[in-house]
Structure 1
Amino acid sequence: MKTGLRGTGAVYLREMLILKHRFFHHLASMMVLPFLYLVAFGTAMGGSAPLAGHSYLEFLLPGLIAMTCMTQSYGIATEINIARFYLHVFEEFQAAPISNAAHVLGEALSGMTRAALGVAVILLMGLAFSVRLHIGPYFLLAAALNAWVFASLGVLLAMLVRSHADQSMVSSFIITPMSFLGGTLFPLDRLPEWAQTLLSLLPLTHASHAIHADALGLPPEPMDFMILASAGALLFFLALRSVGQARD
């Protein structure tokens, strides 16, 4: 047990040292896209597109939080790729007495930490745009589950791809479309029913819905949390297997 905790701590500490070294670079990257969305969409449409008693800007901010949670937690895949293909740190993990579970958990927690930092940045930006959201336990739980899902997905895919270029291609086909179609920038109930059914299969859709609900003072739907927890558990398990195969 203690060995596992030390292994997890070692992996997590390495990622946090990297984050500390590149802190202002990461901070700037976390701010650019949300700021552009807030200016281009929020300011332009903020007072003219009311949604269930809320302005579009009030709807947009929780969506950006869900999106940032996804992109920042999934971004751990880039650090894993660099460690595998350029720095060869993964070979050191292979030789070290660190279990697969400790490795995946350490990487997932570091991805979740990046996501938490991204959420804090979005909330502060919201204050600058005079948007104040309700931050309750369901909001925090939805954000944490969302980060866990995509951090686990990041570890899984980082272990499956064969090059850094492959990782970029995977992101283009999975993460980018989900960012726009997961209920982050517009309500999905304005789409045809077949599209709503299809998009309900995306974990970001349920994360966005749960975050929106608590942020705007609406009752949460337990199904959103059940789906996120199930997806997180499945992806974490698959990530464990992928690390074992990569070690072999």
Structure 2
Amino acid sequence: MAPIGLSSLLMGKALIGVFRGVLSSVAFLILALLIAPSMHVSPMFLLGLLLTCLTFSFLGVLAALLARSHEDMGTFGSIILLPMTFLGGTFFSLSQVPLGLKYLLYLLPLTHASLWLRAAALNQSLPWTSLLVLLIFFAAFMAGSMAAVKRMSI
């Protein structure tokens, strides 16, 4: 094992995920600005983008630490990530969703990322509750990752 602490190793893994997320986002932002030049890339948009990358990077690290095989990661993608992608309000407005389902969708981190980033990009009123919820998800995934890596090292 490398002569670094487990928390440093964990942070390195997560920051690689953040870097990849930001790099992908920059490519999409360039394309989006070519299509919709009126889109606002404000500091609040960038804050939401960075927090989203951090949140999902730590979710990925946590999933990898809990997975026992490559098949487990495939299952995680199929059961968690794929439905969240289509149900998280990324492709449609949550105002069109029945009330009961809407409450369930607010339990997904992608829902809050979508709400924040859409509002910031369109220069609308920012949903501060969504930023708070994203921070809570980030903290929970980071704490879960720390606990999982410590449990593995014992």
Q: TM-score, length-normalised on structure 1?
A: 0.60
- Matched positions, count: 153
Q: Distance in 1 between matches of 2:121 and 2:55?
A: 20
Alpha-carbon separation, structure 2, partners of 1:153 and 1:123: 23
User: SS of the residue aligned with 1:238?
Assistant: helix
Residue 67 of structure 2 is aligned to residue 161 of structure 1: yes
Cross-structure match for 1:107: 13
Question: Which residue of 102, 105, 124 corresponds with 1:199?
Answer: 105
Q: What's the Cα RMSD here?
A: 1.1
Looking at structure 1, the residues matched to 47 and 30 of structure 2 have their Cα atoms a distance apart, in angstroms, of: 19
Alignment match of 1:209 (pick from 98, 102, 115): 115
Residue 122 in 1 paired to residue 24 in 2? no
Runs of at least 5 residues in structure 1 that lack an aligned partner in the other structure = 1-94
1:13 is matched with none
Residue 92 of structure 1 is matched in structure 2 by none
Q: Give the structure 2 partner of residue 152 of structure 1.
A: 58
After TM superposition, which residue ranges in structure 1, 4 or more long, deviate above 6 angstroms?
none
Percent pairwise identity: 37
| CA deviation after TM superposition for structure 1 residue 222, in Å | 1.3
Whole-angstrom CA distance in 1 between matches of 2:111 and 2:76: 19
> What is residue 131 of structure 1 aligned with on the other side?
36
Give the letter for the 1:131 counterpart.
A
Q: CA deviation at 1:246?
A: 2.2
**Corresponding letter in the other structure for 1:199:** L
Q: Which runs of 5+ in 2 are unaligned?
A: none
Query: Which one of 57, 72, 81 corresponds to residue 175 of structure 1?
Result: 81
Match of 2:95 among 186, 189, 193: 189
- Give 1:143 shift: 0.9
Find the aligned partners of 1:122 and 1:159 in 2 and give their Cα distance.
29
1:155 deviation in Å? 0.8
Question: 1:99, 1:227 → 2: CA distance?
Answer: 29
SS in 2 for 1:217: coil
Whole-angstrom distance in 2 between the partners of 1:177 and 1:240: 26
- How far off its partner does 1:138 sit? 1.2
